[in-house]
Structure formats: structure tokens, C-alpha cells
Structure 1
Amino acid sequence: MSHNVLVVDDEPKLCDLLSSALTQNDVHVFTAGNGLQALAILEQEDIDLVISDWRMPGMDGPQLLAEVKVRYPQLPVIVMTAYSTVKNAVQSMRNGAYDYIAKPFDIDELDITVSKALQFRDIVRDNARMRAELDEHQHIDSLVGESPSFRRVLQAIDSVRDSSATILLTGESGTGKEMVARAIHRHGSRADKPFVAVNCAAIPEGLLESEMFGHRKGAFTGAVADRVGRFMQADKGTLFLDEVGDMPLALQAKILRALQERVIEPVGDPRERKVDVRVIAATNKNLLEAVANKEFREDLYYPLNVFPIPLPALRERVEDIAPLARHFAHNLGATAGKRISGFSPSALQAMTQYNWPGNIRELQNCVERATIVAQSSTIEDSDLPPYLFSAQPLQSSSLLTPEVCVPPDLEAALAEVEKAYILAALQQAQGVQAAAAQLIGISERSFWYRLKKLDIHVDKIAR
């Protein structure tokens, strides 16, 4: 297995010596002249081991060690120090260094020390991978439900899982788009290959192209080393583009070329690279509406929409609320060391009558809170958050009759309901937006968007 090692020393000859010695053992070596350069490389590259000198201009070895332990706590660091300053080595071990090498060093001793550090790194990675797989199992197991609308989702997953066709997942925030993407990957023909997720709304626009396609060293200020982009990381596997509707127009043209021709061009590198990636995109936006408003490229929409899978909101699958809640209570109770057997009838009634604007994510947060405060093995309605009882009861569309008053403007009516939930959450959170967003199971960014859309001024909320 190949490893990436970062050698940090202000003596170029020593860096060259170490590079020559280490590359013989299937190791790719990066070099830096001081701690600041080393941190820049660590931000760009997936480094398995740092070998750092003790004395360097600018940021020295002890300062670099401290920064690495804060930013990358599982990354082993070997410190190089002179025989006359063994006390420095002892101090570095106390501060979290994996080991030390005394200069001038013996090549065989160096090989042994480096091999042990890399074995340690592999063990840490394997443990992290196994934990991720367990988490992924939990996510996939969360695809719970027997409602007709959700059964259609499961049938679509089964139909497309072995295909390389591009998939577009649509639905409101919190409906489980990433869970579905992971299920498609894990149960398909690419399951043993990488699953790489990118949130297109969370990466600054200026960095998105480099993030997606990678870059060459020196391509722009701060590009101190070559970087592999997400498309190459996902080669032979699945690339999940979350919130694809928020992708800048300039990048959309390059994504289109990657989808159509299956080639990418890293920033600063004129050479094309072939990639074999199955793309799953997701959005909570109406992309056709975005196309009409010139916010999304029409020629990208159709290649993304090869196999669309719309995910229903939780209020559209009311019959799944109870089994989902039991599933979350079972898993979260076990994590918290509690044995939760279920919910009281009144608690289930309150949950099925609530509108769940934050969908499955909000339901999970609600059950987690109830699991924490529950005093017995059964979750009672008193264990549920108060905002569930301050909203209007949910009425299933199947219960509508000609006698039911249908609002003349559905969008306006839905906006009023959404505004009521937002205001109730703000009241309960005493005007703290982050807390209110958590209460209803949506991100702060989504919460701020809704405040602006609904013209809600937080400073006017009574505290």
C-alpha cells in the first residue's frame, strides 16, 4: 500500500536524503521548509505521516506538532532532533509525537520507525473506515417505511442500483436524499469502490473547481502541491453532488463536460484525465424553475435528470411516522444506554398529527430529545418537545372531503403554516436562531433562508 509522507526541514539536502531513502519503500514524499509550508500542504494533501525537524525558522517543530495535534489528532508525527538534545525528544513525546529520530540517523533505524508509524496510521484508518461502515449501515437501515409513496422510492433504488446512469434525487430538506444515495451505492455494483459526497452549497465558489477537478502545484496562490479532485477520488465509484442547484453557473459548464465526455481537466493542467464515475445529484430546488430563471443551465439539467427519484415529504407518508420513530428510539436508546420499548398512544398521536417541516431529520432530532428526557422505557407525550403541540394538526390528503375548506391560494396557505412553525420555534428558543433551527430539524442556512423568504424579523420576536 502506498503512503504519503511529509518531510519538514529547512535543510534541502536533508529533505533530498530522506526523500531518496523513503521512496524506495513505496512512499510518496512531500517536502516543506518550515511549519507554515507544512500546514499548507496538509490542507491540500492526504498525508499519512509527518517527519519534522525540531529547529526551523518561522514555525518550528514544537509549534508544528501542536498545530497538527489540534487539526489532525490521528496523524502521527516523528520528530528529528540532535543527540545532544534528547530532552527535546522526550518533551515532544509528551506533547503527542509518535516517536523521534536522533540526528545523524541510521537508515535502517529510520525505516523501522517510519514503518511502525505507517502501520499505526493504517490501523487508525481501518478503525475509522469500520466505524463509517457501521454508521452507513445505520443510515441505510433508516430507509424505513411501507407507505405507497416510499415503496416507489425503494422500487426505484432497486431498479437503478446496478446502473451507471446519472440519478437526480429531489425533495425537501431532511427527506433523506443522502441516505438514498448511499443505499444506491452500497447495494449496487460499485459498492466496493469509493462513495464521495460533495455539498455544492458549502464550498466557497472560488474553490469549487479545484475541489471538483483538482489542481496542479502553482496553479494559483496557495496551491503548494498537486491536489486530487473529488471526481478522481470517486473514480470507479459514486460521486454524490448534494445541493446541486446551488452550483455556480460557471462551474456547471465544466460539470456538464465531465458528465457527457467522462473526462476532467485539473486546474492548471492542460492534460485531460478519464474518469469512470456514477453521479448522483440531489437538490431541494425546482430545477426547471431555476432553468426558466436562468439560474441553472438547461443543457445540464437533462443529463442530470436521466433517472429522477422524487422523495416524498414526511407529511405525505404519515403512516411511516410511527415505524420511523420506533426505529430511531431503538437505535438512539441503545446509544444512550437506555432501553426504549416504544411510545404511548398519545405520544404517537401527537407525532402523527404534526406537520414535520424538517421531515425525517426533524423527526430524528425530536426522538433523540425524547429519548434523553424519558424517565421510563415508554416515551410519553410529556417527553416530546412542546412545539409539536403548538401547531395545527396534520390532515392527510386521504381525509379531504368536499366539505373541507380548501384555501384559494395553496402557496400562501403553506407559507402561513411554515411561518407559524418558525415563529413557534423562535419563541421556544428565545430568539436564538441556531437553537430554533435545531428544534425543527433544519440547517441554520436553511433557517436563515426561510426567515428572509417569510419576512420574519428576529429582533421583533418577544423573548
Structure 2
Amino acid sequence: MPQEKILICDDEQGILTYLKKLLQSQGYQVETFLGGRELLRRVEEGETGDADLLLQDVRMPDMDGISVLKKVKRLRAELPVVIMTAFGTIDAAVETIKLGAYDYVTKPFPKEKILSVIKNALEKEQLIQENRALKKELGKPILQESIIFRSSVFRETFELTLQVAASEANILVLGESGTGKELIAGAIHYNSPRKERRFLSINCAALTETLLESQLFGHVRGAFTGAISTQKGLLEEADGGTLFMDEIGDMSLPIQAKLLRVIQERDFIPVGATRPKSANIRFVAATNKNLEREVAEGRFREDLYYRLNVINIPLPPLRDRKDDIEPLALHFLKKYSVRMKKEVTGVTPEALALLIGYDWPGNIRELENVMERAIILARNEQLTPKELPIWRKQPEVPAKRDVELVSLENIEREHIERTLANTGYHKSRSAEILGISRKTLDRKIAEYSLHIPA
């Protein structure tokens, strides 16, 4: 039975008695008031949350019902109000809806009608409160417990992340694939003043240039073949929030130029449009490439690099975070044990030693993959080396053997011949791999009498 408290205000004692008896029979707590001033005194002296709904007449002798509603909403904006009105005062009741009342009922009303309106009003308010609580929970800063680590080397990285999060500066996150760059980007957003707004991400390497442009900037109807409707881009959707751009080093130069304008001018033009739209966005970019080298070789704009690299956060690879392997492994063990409904509680010392001794070229992503596979294969409560595929990957020390001594000329010939074969005898591609010009490659082919299939 419900235990919500309902306040009823009406100048007719008979209505108050009837409604109190009806609502109490449904399990509600009820307080009644014969006038507006008495009601307002109760609301002023009470505390937020000590009433769940107000049932109020629109006409009262001591105060106008609309004035009462205005003061109630000023004192308790969140309190849902249902207005009771006679047939001749429907216009006034409609006015109360504009002022924030949930609904109105016309006297005389059947009990089913009033009970239904009250039930719906209370359910709506409960949904609003749950939504507000969820937003508050989602908006909580990402704390140390949310990012798994034990090592001092990653502690420095995490502390730097929290330190720079409060600023408005664009940030460049650097690190190998699988080191957790998006997680760090999320920590930056949710510990920043923008945490109430959206955090969106895009992988620049996963999309073609045309699709990436459309996803970022949006497009208007008819901008290109297949654009049957106008679509907002991520820049518009992320306005006021944070946009995480993963693999920024794979973005083409034309898109880089457009992104630079967004950062500098804080506006953009959707594909096919003519008018710019404003964009108040914080950019967090990430890459596993050496952007300084990309700039030097002309594949990345220098001006964009400096705009993004106001602050950079380098993420250490997992092989340099050996102390973090055990807590990360146990975290993934718990995650996939619950998901797969298996009773796996730990890792044997031998299996743990194997995990710690491995170099993890795929970093945390590889560790998660290994632990998921191990949980699938596990038959006991403890994971053993048998369930871990990494023992097959341990590097073997090559046996000593006699080395055939050959000339530098023979090595060069074999290397060129092997490169040509691997590229399907594509000369331009082979020359690029070898680091020589096409003209030099043609000369080497002739010099070594290499056979090129027709």
C-alpha cells in the first residue's frame, strides 16, 4: 500500500472529509486545510519532501487559488499539484496548468477519476526523482576506484589526469593501442566542469574520409547521394561537453583543416550547408602514433598539433606496469565470472606468475581478452596456466647455429626480391617500403637481373 502524504486544500468541509476518507482508504497519509493562508503556512514551515502531492481548489474565500499555486511553486517547485475546479472556472484551471500544475479535475468528480489523476501524478514525480538521481550518479567524478591500478607509475598518470581535468584546455592522450586512452578521456570529462553535458567519442581510423566528415560535422538533406534527411553531427551533439577523438593521427589533411577551424573559431559548417553553427566543445584526442614525426613528414598539420597538444598525458604500456597486472586480472576475472555465471574465484600462483611474466604487446585489451577466454575454459574455482594461452607465446631463445656469411650485395638483392614478391611486384609500393625512389628501384632490378612477372 502507498504511504505518500497528500495535502488537500478546499473551503468546503464536506469535500475535505470525503477526500480524506477516500484517500486514507487507499493507504495515503492526508492533511487537510480550509484556506490558502493555512496551507501556505504549513508549506513554509514544513521541510522539502514531507509532502508528495497537493490537491487544491482553484477558488477559496481568503485567497485566490492561482496566487496560492504561484506561492506554493515558489516554495516547493518539485511538489506536484492537482487543481479541483467547478464547471464555471475551467478557464482558471487551464491557467494553473501553464503555471506548473500537473492536471485539473472538474467537480463533481467520480472517485475513480480523482484516484487515477493522483496515481499518475505521483508516478510521474517518482520517475522524475529517479531520473534526477541517475543523472547525479552518472555525473559523479570518476575516482581512483573506477580505474584499476596499483603501480606508482600509473598513479602519476592518474593524478595528472585529475589535475588537468578542471581546466578547459584541449588534451592529447598518447599511448600504445589497448592502454586505456578512452577511459582516461572519460575521467577527464567526468571530473571537469562539463560533466553535466555529453561525452561523445569517435574513432577517426574506423571511418572513410567522407563518412568521418559527415559524422563530425553533420549534413543537410541533399548534401550528397543518400542524404535523404538532415542529420546532426557529433560537434553539434557534443556542444557544451567533451568530444573524444581516438586515432587522431589517422585523420586526413582536409578534415584536419576543418577541425582546426572548429577549435580556433568555435564554429563549423555542416556538409552541404552555408551557415555556420557555434560549437563550445572541449577536445580530448588520442593516438598511438608519433605526431611530431607525422608533422615532420607532412602527414599531420603542425598548427592543429599545437592546438590539441596544450597538455599531453602519456600512458605507460602494461609491460611497464607489472604491479597492475594482478588487480586488473582479478577485475576481469570477477567481471566475466558474473557475466558467464561461473564460480571462478581466483588465480593459482603459477598462473599469476605467467600473467606477470608476459610482456602484453596488446596491453590491457589483450589481458581482458585472455581473462575472458580463461573464464570460458575454466572448470575449477581457480584459473591455472592450462587456461591461459599466453604460455605458447613466450619467446624462445634461439639455438646457436653456424651463420652463413654472405656479401652485402647478396643481402640487398634478396631483400629487394622478397619485397617485390610480397607486394605482388608493385614497384611504387615496393620502392616506398624500401625507402628508395622508383627510379632507383628500376636501376636495382636491372643491376641484379631480377625477374618481374608480366
Q: How many residues align?
A: 268
> Which of 389, 393, 417 is the matching residue for 1:390?
393
Aligned match of 1:370: 374
Contact 1:350 1:389 in 2 (8 A): no
Distance in structure 1 (CA, Å) of the matches to 2:231 and 2:144: 31
- Inter-CA distance 175–259: structure 2 relative to 1 (3 Å threshold): same
> Which of 307, 314, 333 is the matching residue for 2:311?
307
Distance in structure 2 (CA, Å) of the matches to 1:326 and 1:381: 15
- Inter-CA distance 393–166: structure 2 relative to 1 (3 Å threshold): farther
> Which of 359, 362, 368 is the matching residue for 1:358?
362
* Counterpart residue identity of residue 390, structure 1: K
Contact 2:241 2:281 in 1 (8 A): yes
Aligned match of 2:177: 173
Of 303-312 and 334-343, deviating more is 334-343
- Inter-CA distance 139–359: structure 2 relative to 1 (3 Å threshold): farther
Distance in structure 1 (CA, Å) of the matches to 2:262 and 2:141: 30
Aligned-pair CA distance for 1:196: 1.0
Residues 210-243 of structure 1: CA deviation (Å, up to 9, x unaligned): 2111122222222222111110110111101010
Contact 1:235 1:275 in 2 (8 A): yes
Aligned match of 1:83: none
% identical equivalent positions: 47
Distance in structure 2 (CA, Å) of the matches to 1:245 and 1:235: 23
Aligned match of 1:186: 190
Aligned-pair CA distance for 1:383: 1.4
Q: CA RMSD in A?
A: 2.9
Aligned-pair CA distance for 1:453: 8.8
Contact 1:167 1:307 in 2 (8 A): yes
Report SS of the residue matched to 1:308: strand
Aligned-pair CA distance for 1:294: 0.5
User: Structure 1 length as normaliser, TM-score?
Assistant: 0.54
Is 2:226 aligned against 1:222? yes
Aligned-pair CA distance for 1:181: 1.0
Aligned match of 2:215: 211
Aligned-pair CA distance for 1:367: 0.7
Distance in structure 1 (CA, Å) of the matches to 2:396 and 2:199: 40
> Which of 320, 324, 343 is the matching residue for 1:320?
324
Report SS of the residue matched to 1:325: helix
> Which of 256, 259, 270 is the matching residue for 1:266?
270
Aligned match of 1:100: none
Aligned match of 1:330: 334
* Counterpart residue identity of residue 279, structure 1: F
Of 367-376 and 215-224, deviating more is 215-224
Aligned-pair CA distance for 1:142: 5.7
* Counterpart residue identity of residue 347, structure 1: A
Aligned-pair CA distance for 1:147: 1.3
> Which of 243, 247, 257 is the matching residue for 1:239?
243
Residues 397-450 of structure 1: CA deviation (Å, up to 9, x unaligned): xxxxxxxxxxxxxxxxxxxxxxxxxxxxxxxxxxxxxxxxxxxxxxxxxxxxxx
Contact 1:142 1:324 in 2 (8 A): no
Aligned-pair CA distance for 1:138: 11
Residues 8-42 of structure 1: CA deviation (Å, up to 9, x unaligned): xxxxxxxxxxxxxxxxxxxxxxxxxxxxxxxxxxx
Residues 168-224 of structure 1: CA deviation (Å, up to 9, x unaligned): 011000001111111222232222211111111111112222211112222222222
- Inter-CA distance 360–168: structure 2 relative to 1 (3 Å threshold): same
- Inter-CA distance 306–213: structure 2 relative to 1 (3 Å threshold): same
Distance in structure 1 (CA, Å) of the matches to 2:228 and 2:384: 57
Contact 2:142 2:191 in 1 (8 A): no
Residues 363-408 of structure 1: CA deviation (Å, up to 9, x unaligned): 00101111121122211111111x33431399xxxxxxxxxxxxxx
User: Structure 2 length as normaliser, TM-score?
Assistant: 0.55
Aligned-pair CA distance for 1:268: 1.8
- Inter-CA distance 137–191: structure 2 relative to 1 (3 Å threshold): closer
- Inter-CA distance 453–366: structure 2 relative to 1 (3 Å threshold): farther
Distance in structure 1 (CA, Å) of the matches to 2:200 and 2:218: 14
Contact 1:173 1:284 in 2 (8 A): yes
- Inter-CA distance 453–359: structure 2 relative to 1 (3 Å threshold): farther
5+ residue gaps, structure 1:
1-122, 395-451, 455-463
Report SS of the residue matched to 1:227: coil
* Counterpart residue identity of residue 393, structure 2: S
Distance in structure 1 (CA, Å) of the matches to 2:142 and 2:251: 29
Of 306-315 and 183-192, deviating more is 183-192
Aligned match of 1:280: 284
Report SS of the residue matched to 1:279: strand
- Inter-CA distance 388–188: structure 2 relative to 1 (3 Å threshold): farther
Distance in structure 2 (CA, Å) of the matches to 1:361 and 1:288: 26
Distance in structure 1 (CA, Å) of the matches to 2:231 and 2:218: 5
Contact 2:150 2:327 in 1 (8 A): no
